[in-house]
Structure 1
Amino acid sequence: MGHRYRGGRTAAVVLGWGLVGAQIVAQLVGMGRLARAESGDGHAGAPTVTVRVDASQVLAKTNPLLFGINTAHWDQTIFPGTAPEALLTANREVIRKVRESGVTILKYPGGTAADYYVWNDPRNPAADMDTDELVLLARAVGAEPWIQVNIPAGPEVAAAWVEYTNNIHHYNVKYWELGDEEYGSWARGHSSPEVYAARVRQFVQAMKAKDPTIKIGMSVVGFSGYQDWTRRVVRLAGDVIDMVVFSFYPLEPGQESPQAFVQAADKLQPQLDYIHRILREEQPSRADDILVMIGGWNTVSANPSPLVEAMPNALFVARMLAEMQTLDVDGANYWAVHNPPGPRGGEYGYLKAGTHEPTYPWYVFKLFADHWGDTVVAAESDRSWIKAYASLKKDALGTTLTTILLNISSGRTETVQLVTKGFEAGRYSTWILAEGKKGEEWPVSEDGRVVLPPFSMVVVKAAQKPRAGDYVRVFPIGQQASSELAGFEAAQVTDRDPNTRWSSVMGAGIDPQWLSLDFGFPVRIAKVVIRWEAAYATRYEVQLSGDGQTWHTVAKVEAGDGGTDELVFPADEARQLRLLLEERADRRFGYSIWETEVYSQW
């Protein structure tokens, strides 16, 4: 349905994201062989580090399952009331913050608690988060639920859980895990590798009898410890499972320091290499089909210090989220949404228990959610303490390049010069996460120079510079219509929301109707895209005006058929655009448009 009128180039590219900062005021001082930018306000001086981004070298597609997080049944702050009252008593502040962080998996019921929690036990506290509330939360934040089952409770209880979620309520929970860290003596279901492997086979048979489409994972470790656990369980049960799940907490209590935190991500690759090697050796025919998942990750294995809430851990989190995209891992879940303070005063939760105040790691998740693209491309820094990661995003608004820069030095302030290949950057926008700075805008020069204070994360985003002939979407400052219905106002025709629309009045004798857009100043308009609702026009004109009084027609449709109309015409300068709607497809209704896109041409 719909038409494209007159041929021509139709690539839509958006111009800019708004330039933040302009004046160069940084004063440089010597520091060994390097100059150091000393400007406290972030304005960039002469570059001391070069980061090269090659947008033509694609490394991977962004894997959304790497942005998972753990939540727990004992977290009574999200749904403090009983399950029937969940929608009335839900903590909307927490739900909003979890949603804003962009998490894609909610793993439940909470680490080692999995072997203590019996999902259908009537003695469970009423304020605990139960299965139905987990699913409500997952749907509210746009995440996939992942459930760990209780090993000591037996396969029948796990199978009943699958029956409840996927057959009775059709929640379609896809990911299931058998216990948590079952290799460890701290796990209530701990046993020998042989006993655990036998249980895995029993659980898989019982659970897949209820839903054969689910994916079931078993516990492994990323090294040869615990009685060579990984090799033995993969050998004995690797033929029936869909996932292997391991934990990654690279530091032990007492090993923490800011530098240890920012370097801890280096320990992930060897563990992944070990697990994949065992899969290839013990299950060669299935190694490529078994998903390798991180069930829980953070820096310290137990009793965290306050560093877990601070910038050193935020830099660890940023390295993990970026570097996992190019490693051989299929999914990962941060620990956790909430976790009350331990004996050393730190808490794992990316939201503080009680106050729900975001910690620095939460801001890392949010910056990735807001700016990271769908394609990972190559980025390289010429200094080891400046880490660089880049991604592209292509959508209806054009192509943007996001570069994430991390300064893992505790003492150096650097000015980074960003150099791009395969992407001609237009205007830059920049955001910073550092001590006392939580995701706010940050200065960047027109040629891509930006200051990185010690222990900081800076996100640099650039729209692709338009080329001659490219179309650039322009947005009006005002919208008017000859008529509109309540809830379907003219402003909704350019709000970029696919679920809102403008609608005129309905009935006989209403023709013609009109819809006009005011851009505030003259622009060279060359293309209009109209996305019709079912009440479309079969005959209408596109008109332009410089003063809103005198109009001239630049495109005319005589036999419209709804859907999406794309009208291309010679570029013409005007301040206002009007759709003059002359004839309807169905005279019982009026005219209705989901979205109108207007493009200038370079």
Structure 2
Amino acid sequence: MRRTLVRALSAAVLTLATLSTPIAHADGDAPVEVTVNARAALATVPETGLGANHAIWDANLGTNDTADLLKNAGMKLLRYPGGSYSDIYHWADHTAPGGYVAPGTDFDTFMSGVRRTGAQAMVTANYGTGTAAEAAAWVRQANIVRKYGVKYWEIGNENYGNGHYGTAWEADEHADKSPAEYARHVVAYADAMKAVDPTLKIGAVLTTPANWPDAIVAEGDSGSWNEVVLATAGSKIDFVVLHWYPGALDRAGHVPDMIQLTREQIARHAGPGSDRIGIAMTEFNTGSSSNGSNTQPGALAAADAYATLLAAGVFTVDWWNVHNGIGAVTEVEGHTDYGDFGLLSSAACTSDGSVCEPALNTPFAPYHALRMMSRFARPGDRFIRAATDQAVTDQPEGTAHAASDQPEVTAHAVRRPNGDLAVLLINASSTTSHPVAIDYAGFTPAAGAPTVLTHTNGATSITTTTTGTATSQTLPPLSLTTVLLRPATPPTGLPATPGKPSATAVTDTTATITWPASRPGIKYEVHRQNGAVTEQLGETTGTTLTVRNLKPGTRYTVNVIARNAAGAQSEPSPPLTFTTGTPATSSCSVRLTIQTDWASGYVAALDLTNHGAPVSGWTLTFDWPRPWQRLNSGWSGVWTQTGAQVKVVNEPGNGTLPTGATTTIGYVGDYTGPNVLPKIFTLNGDTCTLH
């Protein structure tokens, strides 16, 4: 999925000289074209979608002022007791040996604030220095004695940071610090805690794709952290936990692959019924103190990332954190950035007292971004595809993503249950006010000026106006804009929305799509999402359709739409994503084996087998699926890369391949985002079977 916020944001942060440049208006230029497609549905906004972290070292954790501000921002989940403190915290006596515990931060005080906010709680049980019995006693106190009804419980926090992979920041008193030991304890914790309250949802810590130490296999382990944890504890957990600190403002484009790869790991390793396992992003922050963590660039990146994560089906995204404290102080886009990862000011000062933050609980820019998110995407709304001109969100696994012609503008959209629609538009340009032209598919907006919510650089609130039209808006520089729309005709008498489809018998060119039965007299259309454009793959009066002429090695996302005899169409079904394979038989085959991976690069071996006529001289080609991948080096062939394509030509000693012969070559690949492996290999122009 395309997200091109970064280039503009990076320029905005680094080119501070532009602060004295007058704002340019692009009104004389062609407007940025935005397509919103109500037929292309993504995930439903969950009740717990917008969240934040509290920490027991924050004396303002339980104040009414803090709770009221979080409620105003639409926070629906609050996490406790705070990051790595979770693995030293003992709830019964409210202590954290080796750490600071502020007064007024005990569990009951936290829950009082949760209730005042109108949120749910996410509690992290102590794995590092605690026990399953201690966690079970906490569940009893919380849900049986106090009747708080805390549903979500994580087992530990970033426990892969216990030194097992060479770096230690997370407390862990277990002699064995392997993923296997952690997984065994997850099973024990889950059993003990659910014996007290069977309704709990238990979460296990995973590494985030392309973030250290993801994919690393340590000595003595049978696989990576995620593989081992899921294989052992998968049957006992209800969700997995990811943390993401991208350290830059241009990383929302990584999200779809990040979440898809996590789902593939769950499906591959967690056993039968693993599709019940949800994904929670319980710590997230956009960047670092050098690129605008609490000024407008960070706010724009926050809104983009939250929308992208929730559209991908993550059930909560929890900002780190509510109050954090002052860091490196810089000037970003005309405003002081305090290097503070909090949503609200801590009123802290630098060590020499030369710079102090504003008054306690003053909202920083990301707070306003999350407040905008709560007004844009409400629980129960359905994300739908939205994209700027030529931005491509669904691409074959074997081809690079195309980028938008206008990378400074990003779009998201949701459809409300009553048929209303909301469009979130982000302008990341420091100096240019961009006009946009919005086109709609599957939705006709009502006439008249829509309600428009706007947050601009340095603003201390969101403004509400009635301006422009449903198809034409102008976006101020460094702004968040939400356009609220009503349909021209109320959506009545529509067929029921089809249930979630599934895919079976997926080959290189076909797949059978099935969905739950509905009443007679209905036709069903299967639509493929291709960016913000949908392509109808077929229709039927039944509840199964075999789609053909698909491309090998391609990731497809489809929705099913019901149509009645009068031609009225239902809302689209929940999305289904599947990936086609390679030919079952071919004149060649390739086996790709990852020999080692260090979370930013890997060594791969390719076993190339000739199943056709004898070959004298061969060329193997493949394309990197993503623009953040590249060839570092290769051996047993002459390796070159042009654009996204990698080409390998035989060396003099291995150019002859008799029928049935295999030659092994290898390469080092580098990546700076989720590592989607190449799927399509061609030998002398023929597509090979991939094993």
Shift of 1:77: 1.3
SS in 2 for 1:293: strand
CA distance in 2, matches of 1:447, 1:433: 19
Partner of 2:195: 209
- Of 398, 419, 424 in structure 1, the residue corresponding to residue 445 of structure 2 is 424
Shift of 1:267: 2.4
Partner of 2:154: 177
CA distance in 2, matches of 1:414, 1:245: 38
Residues 358-385 of structure 1: per-residue CA shift (max 9 Å, x gap): 1111111111222335122232211333
CA distance in 1, matches of 2:373, 2:24: 24
Shift of 1:442: 5.6
- Of 412, 428, 433 in structure 2, the residue corresponding to residue 413 of structure 1 is 433
Partner of 1:452: 475
Distance 1:389 1:75, change over 3 A: same
1:51 equivalent to 2:34? Answer yes
CA distance in 2, matches of 1:39, 1:458: 21
Q: CA RMSD in A?
A: 2.8
Residues 521-563 of structure 1: per-residue CA shift (max 9 Å, x gap): xxxxxxxxxxxxxxxxxxxxxxxxxxxxxxxxxxxxxxxxxxx
SS in 2 for 1:406: strand
Once the two structures are superposed, the pairs formed by residues 583-602 of structure 1 within 5 Å of their partners are none
1:350 equivalent to 2:350? Answer no
Shift of 1:392: 2.3
1:463 equivalent to 2:470? Answer no
Structure showing greater Rg: 1
CA distance in 1, matches of 2:48, 2:280: 9
- Of 236, 239, 243 in structure 1, the residue corresponding to residue 239 of structure 2 is 243
Residues 554-586 of structure 1: per-residue CA shift (max 9 Å, x gap): xxxxxxxxxxxxxxxxxxxxxxxxxxxxxxxxx
Q: Is the contact between residue 376 and residue 423 of structure 2 (CA under 8 Å) also seen in structure 1?
A: no
Once the two structures are superposed, the pairs formed by residues 330-369 of structure 1 within 5 Å of their partners are 330-342=315-327, 345-354=338-347, 355-369=360-374
1:270 equivalent to 2:277? Answer no
Shift of 1:172: 0.9
CA distance in 2, matches of 1:307, 1:275: 29
1:129 equivalent to 2:120? Answer no
Once the two structures are superposed, the pairs formed by residues 117-266 of structure 1 within 5 Å of their partners are 117-121=89-93, 127-151=103-127, 152-184=129-161, 185-189=168-172, 191-222=177-208, 223-225=214-216, 227=218, 228-251=224-247, 260-261=248-249, 263-266=250-253
CA distance in 1, matches of 2:102, 2:483: 46
SS in 1 for 2:262: helix
Shift of 1:226: 6.5
Distance 1:281 1:411, change over 3 A: same
CA distance in 1, matches of 2:94, 2:433: 57
- Of 408, 431, 436 in structure 2, the residue corresponding to residue 385 of structure 1 is 408
Partner of 2:294: 309
CA distance in 2, matches of 1:343, 1:132: 34
Q: Is the contact between residue 89 and residue 95 of structure 2 (CA under 8 Å) also seen in structure 1?
A: no
Shift of 1:42: 8.7
- Structure 2 unpaired stretches of 5+: 1-20, 162-167, 209-213, 219-223, 330-337, 348-359, 390-405, 493-691
Distance 1:390 1:122, change over 3 A: closer
Residues 305-335 of structure 1: per-residue CA shift (max 9 Å, x gap): 4710011111111112211233142332121
CA distance in 2, matches of 1:341, 1:356: 13
- Structure 1 unpaired stretches of 5+: 1-37, 80-90, 252-259, 470-602
CA distance in 2, matches of 1:153, 1:446: 58
Amino acid aligned to 1:283: A
Higher relative contact order (CA 8 A, sep 6+): 1
1:295 equivalent to 2:295? Answer no
CA distance in 2, matches of 1:288, 1:233: 16
Distance 1:241 1:54, change over 3 A: closer
Amino acid aligned to 2:318: N
Partner of 1:255: none
SS in 1 for 2:276: coil
CA distance in 1, matches of 2:32, 2:257: 29
Q: Is the contact between residue 285 and residue 320 of structure 2 (CA under 8 Å) also seen in structure 1?
A: yes
Shift of 1:49: 1.1
CA distance in 2, matches of 1:425, 1:56: 18
Shift of 1:126: 7.1
CA distance in 1, matches of 2:261, 2:303: 23
CA distance in 1, matches of 2:243, 2:258: 10
Residues 25-47 of structure 1: per-residue CA shift (max 9 Å, x gap): xxxxxxxxxxxxx9969996775
Amino acid aligned to 1:235: A
CA distance in 1, matches of 2:225, 2:61: 36
Shift of 1:59: 3.0
Q: Is the contact between residue 74 and residue 128 of structure 1 (CA under 8 Å) also seen in structure 2?
A: no
Residues 52-99 of structure 1: per-residue CA shift (max 9 Å, x gap): 2233443332223221211112221143xxxxxxxxxxx333221100
TM-score normalised per structure 2: 0.55
Once the two structures are superposed, the pairs formed by residues 18-29 of structure 1 within 5 Å of their partners are none
1:433 equivalent to 2:455? Answer yes
Q: Is the contact between residue 43 and residue 443 of structure 1 (CA under 8 Å) also seen in structure 2?
A: no
CA distance in 2, matches of 1:405, 1:216: 36
TM-score normalised per structure 1: 0.63
Partner of 2:273: 286
Q: Is the contact between residue 111 and residue 180 of structure 1 (CA under 8 Å) also seen in structure 2?
A: yes
Residues 125-174 of structure 1: per-residue CA shift (max 9 Å, x gap): 57231111222111111111110011112112111100101111111110
Residues 414-457 of structure 1: per-residue CA shift (max 9 Å, x gap): 11122334222333122222212342246732464222233321
Amino acid aligned to 2:363: P
Distance 1:375 1:49, change over 3 A: same
CA distance in 2, matches of 1:442, 1:165: 44
CA distance in 2, matches of 1:181, 1:447: 45
